[in-house]
């Protein structure tokens, strides 16, 4: 998998250069969905094109699933899963919590994950069974328990999901240290994998947001399940990602 990792890292690096070239500047913004929160910029599109050109040149037979284009079927059992700019709203508002996510799925299993947080010059990588790394150095989740836990949320865009998330937050407030919403799935995963926070809960799953992050956290010693405790796949929804030590307690609180 060495070549695949090298190419994915190269693609994430080049995409990160594009993001930083536009960060803090005026850009074209449009609504790509039915809600006011579903925004896309020309930077998303430019980043996506760069990633796809690099991946396609090296692996022309692989399929591609990206946030910004219809899925492209491949000629083999491998598929790249791409988010060229996760944290678009943060990016638009000049908040440096955003990044690039690239995962490789083989025979239905995620085997490679890469996250680039270009503002911080941080490249996170993981290969299935080989651990997680930040700029080449091994990383691990924290050992903090539920009382010390910093919990983060992604509420999704649908109003029923948001109401459910608020209910869960209320149940957690008396049990954990604090709660945050950072506005970027890849930042949640990066911080969880390096022990800066303990739990990430989301009511919505889009594979391009989570495929790389799920693997990076798991390979750093964390745990990912749905609300019933079932192991993850790229379509798991809703889900809990944790440092493992807090996982059962979080599920208990959610399901009360």
Give CA–CA dist 42/27, Å, rounded.
Answer: 7
- The whole-number average pLDDT for the span 180-196 is 96
**Is 132 found in the same domain as 9?**
yes
| Phi, psi for residue 137 in degrees, rounded to 5 | -105, 135
Whether the Cβ atoms of residue 110 and residue 214 lie closer than 8 Å to each other: yes
Instruction: Read off the tokens for 128.
Output: 């299935």
Label residue 33 by pLDDT band (50, 70, 90). low
Tens of pLDDT, residue by residue over 45-74, are 999 999 999 999 999 999 999 988 889 999
Tens of pLDDT, residue by residue over 160-187, are 767 877 888 888 998 999 999 999 999 9
Residue ranges making up the domain that contains 102: 2-138
**Is 152 found in the same domain as 133?**
no
**Is 79 found in the same domain as 10?**
yes
**Is 8 found in the same domain as 134?**
yes
Label residue 40 by pLDDT band (50, 70, 90). confident
**Is 246 found in the same domain as 208?**
yes
Has this prediction a pTM greater than 0.85?
yes
- Give the number of domains in the chain: 2
31 exposure class (CB count in 10 Å sphere: 0-12, 13-18, 19+): exposed
- The CATH number of residue 156's host domain is 3.40.190.80
Domain boundary pick from 107, 138, 169:
138
**Is 217 found in the same domain as 152?**
yes
Residue 150: the pLDDT is 97
- The CATH number of residue 50's host domain is 3.30.540.10
């Amino acid at each position: 998998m060495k070549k695949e990792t090298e190419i994915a890292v190269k693609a994430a690096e080049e995409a990160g250069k594009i993001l930083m070239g536009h960060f803090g500047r005026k850009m074209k913004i449009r609504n790509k969905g039915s809600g006011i929160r579903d925004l896309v910029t020309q930077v998303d599109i430019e980043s996506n094109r760069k990633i796809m050109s690099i991946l396609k040149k090296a692996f022309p037979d692989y399929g591609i699933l990206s946030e910004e284009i219809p899925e492209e079927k491949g000629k083999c059992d491998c598929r790249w899963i791409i988010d060229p700019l996760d944290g678009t709203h943060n990016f638009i508002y000049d908040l440096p919590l955003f990044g690039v996510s690239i995962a490789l799925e083989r025979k239905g299993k995620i085997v490679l994950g890469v996250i680039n947080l270009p503002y911080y010059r941080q490249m996170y990588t993981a290969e299935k069974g080989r651990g997680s790394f930040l700029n080449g150095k091994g990383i691990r989740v924290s050992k903090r328990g539920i009382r010390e836990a910093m919990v983060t949320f992604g509420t999704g865009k649908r109003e029923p999901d948001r109401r459910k998330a608020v209910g869960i937050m209320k149940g957690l407030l008396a049990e954990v240290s604090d709660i945050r919403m950072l506005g970027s799935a890849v930042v949640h995963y990066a911080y969880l994998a390096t022990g800066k926070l303990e739990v990430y809960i989301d009511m919505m799953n889009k594979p391009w947001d989570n495929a790389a992050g799920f693997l990076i956290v798991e390979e750093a010693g964390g745990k990912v399940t749905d609300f019933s405790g079932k192991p993850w796949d790229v379509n798991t929804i809703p889900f809990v990602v944790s440092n493992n030590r807090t996982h059962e307690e979080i599920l208990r609180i959610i399901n009360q």
